[in-house]
Structure 1
Amino acid sequence: MTDITPLQLETERLRIRPFVLDDLAVIAVLLDEAFGAQPLAERRQWIEWSVRNYDALARMYQPPYGDYALVRKADGELIGSVGYGQRYGPFGKLPYFRVRAKEPVSDLCTPQFGLFWALGTAHQGQGYATEGARALIDHAFTRLSL
């Protein structure tokens, strides 16, 4: 992988692009719908971190982990978030989950690469999550050589 530009993909109906700080007001509402309300200050910290993360990962030639804006091409509306997640498993190795584990936790590590998405409720059930996930999967296998 030699391309260090932030992830930007297009499908028939969608554009996947890095978040920008101006996305905060819209994505905060969408994420609150998907995951529960959080203070706007926490959402601001998250989007600021996301924006910094794109350049940091690119400079280190790392996969484009993190959240990306899911935008409907027809009208430019930000409808959700998609992205790649670096999964560190088993989750029981992480302190938060270790103290809550109901069974003994293995000492073995199984790093994995995963996808995630979150859509505003008004945009669910229209195939947008599937379309965005397919674009990420195609990118992972063709550009990232997974």
Structure 2
Amino acid sequence: MIETERLILRHWRASDRAPFAALNAAAKVCEFLPKRLGREELDALADRIAGHFEERGFGLYAVERQDTGAFIGFTGLAVPRFEAPFMPAVEIGWRLAHAHWGQGFATEAARAALAHAFGPLDLENIVSFTVPANMRSRAVMEKIGMQHDPADDFDHPLLPPGDPLRRHVLYRINRDEVA
């Protein structure tokens, strides 16, 4: 468990699955994802997230507001499940319910996950990626100190040629770059 000023990053509970499904059903939340996942697919994703913790010792944490105890999404670390020029790598990512956007929660949680990556986990570098148009996620990447080099941008190998979400921007940060 990781605590911040306003959030708790913790392992997932069975009670998180319904709000997780609700946030993944929201059009705004899924705008830059290839498709909206159904409940069965989301439950399988939650199972993979739990397995990632067991296999690697880190993963995507459920994010809970300290003031309300509400599950608002996830933030954390994962090893991407595809090959790309920047692999092997550990990715930092997040997805929050729309009602919690614009309040600094994604940045706060991502900073905590990054501190955990470079502290207790002793990782050397972290990447993050998204489609070029996802300016909100790109802003979080920049706020946590990640850098973008257009030469690193790539076509996501799990998306077919011609898919409007195939092109991705890559951001990076090394442990020695964290202020």
TM-score (ref. length: structure 2): 0.59
Relative distance call for 1:110 and 1:121 in structure 2 (3 A) is same
Question: Contact between 1:71 and 1:77, CA under 8 Å: does it hold in 2?
Answer: yes
Of the two structures, which has the highest relative contact order with CA contacts closer than 8 Å and spacing of 6 or more? Answer: 1
**SS of equivalent to 2:18:** helix
**Over the residues paired in the alignment, what is the CA RMSD in angstroms?**
2.0
Indicate yes or no: 2:39 matched with 1:40.
yes
Structure 1 residue 43: Cα displacement: 1.3
Which runs of no fewer than 5 residues in structure 1 stay unpaired?
1-7, 92-107
Which runs of no fewer than 5 residues in structure 2 stay unpaired?
124-179
**SS of equivalent to 2:115:** helix
Residue 20 of structure 2: aligned partner: 27
Question: Contact between 1:21 and 1:51, CA under 8 Å: does it hold in 2?
Answer: no
Indicate yes or no: 2:105 matched with 1:128.
yes
> What is the number of equivalent residue pairs in this alignment?
117
Identity %: 32
Indicate yes or no: 2:114 matched with 1:137.
yes
Question: Contact between 2:61 and 2:75, CA under 8 Å: does it hold in 1?
Answer: yes
For residue 64 of structure 1, what is the amino acid of its counterpart? F
Residue 97 of structure 1: aligned partner: none
Greater percentage in helix: 1
Relative distance call for 1:71 and 1:109 in structure 2 (3 A) is closer
Structure 1 residue 31: Cα displacement: 2.3
TM-score (ref. length: structure 1): 0.71
Question: Contact between 1:88 and 1:110, CA under 8 Å: does it hold in 2?
Answer: no
Structure with greater Cα Rg: 1
